[in-house]
Structures are given as structure tokens and as C-alpha cells.
Amino acid sequence: MAGETGNCLIRNDWICAEYVRTRGQELTDATLQHVGITVVSVAVGLLIAFPLALAARRRRGVAGPVLGLTTVLYTVPSLAMFSLLVPVFGLSAAVVVTGLVLYSLTILVRNILAGLAAVPEEAREAARGMGYGPVRLLLTVELPLALPAVMAGVRIATVSTVSLTTVGALTGYGGLGNLIYEGLHSIFKAEVLTASVLCVLLAVVADMLLLGLQRLLTPWTRAGRKRKAAVARWT
């Protein structure tokens, strides 16, 4: 049986436990690189998206250019985007991270704006009546109420980034994409399938973790759903 299992490498099977056993460290390193690039890209994207969204909300003259530019960036094919960034950053992880940050801005800026727009005006008026200034109003009233929409944007951006990170294999910094690219080039079926499955699992796990974080940070949304369900049962 052990010999037959080992032969799956020789047979070049799609599913091969021996590949996972013998290349465990390689798979771990690629997965960690994939996670690291994704986390850094989404985090930097958020840091840039927040001030852009706030500027777009406060000044209508800024909103058009910001939304227009981020939309145009999102339409640029990933291969072209990374190729355009190589002369600036060289063949480095910065090329991949910068490209992924630019792609994430469309989703994050729009969701932050949508979340802030959905904050009830009476909540703002009540806070102002209690003496809240603009900064305190934003941090303690508007952002918490906008959090569900913001987190939805973060989830979409994260899953999208997990997928687009694989294209970074062109620069040597694609995480699991490196293995997919190498496997396709050498027709190594087990490498292609295993790396692809891990990439899908990363996206699913990231989405579930962020959904759990969203529910943890917004307990009032669950209470609201429970009240609506209770009302529905009695009507």
C-alpha cells in the first residue's frame, strides 16, 4: 500500500498524499506568504480607503474623482497592473501588495461611504445635542453604526485579494500561486490541485473569520433580527 501511495508521484495523479507529505514545508511556506500578502494588502487598503471615503463624503467635488479613479483602477487587468508596477518597485513583494491595495480601494471606499450614508440622521442629531464634536461623532456613533457595511466590504476585498494574490507568481511573490504556476509549467498535477484547493480554503476560512468578527463587533444586529423574528411569529 505504501508503495502504491508513493507511486502516485510517478503516475502524476491529481490527488497524491505523498506529495503533501514530502512537500509539507513548501506548502506551509507558500501558504504563510499568501496569508501575509493578503493581510498586509487589505490592512493598507483600509488605511488609505478611510480618509478617501471621509474626504469624498465631506466634499462633493472630491467624491467624483475618488470614486472614478478607484473604479478605473479596478478595471485594469491584474497582469497589466503588476507589469506597470515592476519598473517602479522591481521584482519584489511591493509590486504585488501595491497592486492589491489599489484593487481593494474600489470595494472599501464604496462600502465605507455606503455605511456612513446609512447612519440614521436622528442618531447624528441626538449625538450633536449631547455635545459631540465631529471627531467624537464619527468615532463613537457613525463608524459603529456603519460597521456592518464596512465589514462586508472588508470580507469582499479579502476574498478578492486571496484570489488575486496568485497572479503575483509572475514576480515570484504569489504565495500558493507560485506553486500553481510551477505545477502548470511542469504539468505537475498534484502540485496544481493541492495549491488550488488550499487557496480556496484560505478564502473560505478568511470569510468565515471576518463574519465571526463582524458578529462579535455588532451584537445589536443580532438582537434586531431576533426582535423582527419574534414580531413576525406574533403577526
The percent of residues above 70 in pLDDT, for the chain, comes to 91
Residue 111 and residue 79: Cα distance in Å, rounded? 26
**Domain of residue 93, CATH code:** 1.10.3720.10
Contact 180, 189 (CB under 8 A): no
- Residue 15 is given by DSSP the state S
Residue 36 and residue 207: Cα distance in Å, rounded? 16
> How many structural domains compose the chain?
1
C-alpha cell at 157: 476585498
pTM of the model: 0.84
pLDDT of residue 59: 80
Q: How far is CA 106 from CA 100, 161, 201, in A?
A: 11, 12, 25
Domain interval for residue 201? 2-234
Closest listed residue to residue 213, CA positions, set 139, 148, 116, 156:
148
Q: What confidence category does residue 230 fall into, taking pLDDT thresholds of 50, 70 and 90?
A: very low
Half-sphere exposure at residue 106, Cβ-oriented, CA atoms within 13 angstroms:
16
pLDDT of residue 231: 43
Q: What is the pLDDT of residues 186-229, one digit of tens each?
A: 888 889 999 999 999 999 999 999 999 988 888 866 655 555 55
Q: Give the phi and the psi of residue 16 in degrees, each rounded to 5.
A: -145, 110
C-alpha cell at 7: 507511486
Q: What is the pLDDT of residues 166-175, one digit of tens each?
A: 988 888 888 9
Q: What is the pLDDT of residues 91-150, one digit of tens each?
A: 888 999 999 999 999 999 999 998 988 888 888 888 888 888 888 888 888 888 889 999
Q: What is the pLDDT of residues 45-82, one digit of tens each?
A: 999 999 999 988 888 778 888 888 888 888 888 888 88
